[in-house]
Amino acid sequence: MLVYGAKDLILTGYTDSDFQTDKDSKKYTSGSVFTLNGGAVVCRSIKQGCITDSTMEAEYVAACEAAKEAVWLRKFLHELEVVPNMNLSIILYCDNSGIVANSKEPHSHKRGKHIERKYHLIRVIVLRGDVIVTKIASKHNIADPFTKTLTAKVFEGHLENLDLRDMYIKKPRASWRCVIGMMMP
């Protein structure tokens, strides 16, 4: 059994979406982070391939994409045979209660009828037990830096929670952008 630090290796996901930051394309940005025992192993920030009508829809699309990534990561880590507990469900944290409810709901409702059908795959993934979608407070969602501009203090807090450190920057600046493993002005 491979152990990192003093704990078993646990794969955990975080997902988020921005809110109307790109006024030209009207597309939202999805962000996701997967950690293995607290350290970031996969980070993703990408424009969504569709236009959504609300924050809930944008976060639903982001959660579906993150759930698919979780399934792939689970298979990959299982095949490596170094993570003994890959038969456990992966916790996927998001900061929207509507996502938690919709991911468990087997039927579509009138409010969500215009969500593209392919994004309801998250319901199948949750039903199979591959992923458990769970609510987290926005201030604790470490996928935030991949979707929106944050103050330096908040950004640095998320980097610390991701176990990412910058060995080059001596003094904080007002804004940052994230490059895997370090901050760049």
pLDDT tens, residue by residue, 48-60:
766 666 677 778 8
Question: What's the pLDDT score for residue 13?
Answer: 93
CA distance 143 to 30: 9
Of the ranges 64-73, 100-109, 137-146, which is most confident?
Answer: 64-73
| Parallel, antiparallel or unpaired: strands 90-94 and 11-17 | parallel
Q: What rounded mean pLDDT belongs to the chain? A: 73
Question: What's the pLDDT score for residue 38?
Answer: 78
Burial of 66 (0-12, 13-18, 19+ CB in 10 A): buried
Where are the domains positioned within the chain? 3-148, 150-185
CATH topology of domain 3-148: Nucleotidyltransferase; domain 5 (3.30.420)
Question: What's the pLDDT score for residue 179?
Answer: 46
Question: What's the pLDDT score for residue 178?
Answer: 47
In whole angstroms, how large is the CA radius of gyration of the chain? Answer: 17
pLDDT at 14 > cutoff 90: yes
pLDDT at 31 > cutoff 80: yes
Of residues 177 and 159, more confidence is placed in 159
Q: For 15-32, what is the mean pLDDT?
A: 74
* DSSP characters over 101-143: HHHH-SS--GGGTTS-GGGGHHHHHHHHTSEEEEE--GGG-TT
| Contact by Cβ (8 Å): 73, 113 | no
Longest dimension (CA), the chain: 52
| Contact by Cβ (8 Å): 176, 164 | no
In sequence order, which ranges of the chain are alpha helices (DSSP H)?
Answer: 55-80, 97-104, 121-128, 152-161
pLDDT (tens digit per residue) in 119-136: 667 888 888 999 999 999
> Percentage of the chain surpassing pLDDT 90?
13
> Percentage of the chain surpassing pLDDT 70?
57
| Contact by Cβ (8 Å): 66, 92 | yes
Say what the pTM is.
0.74
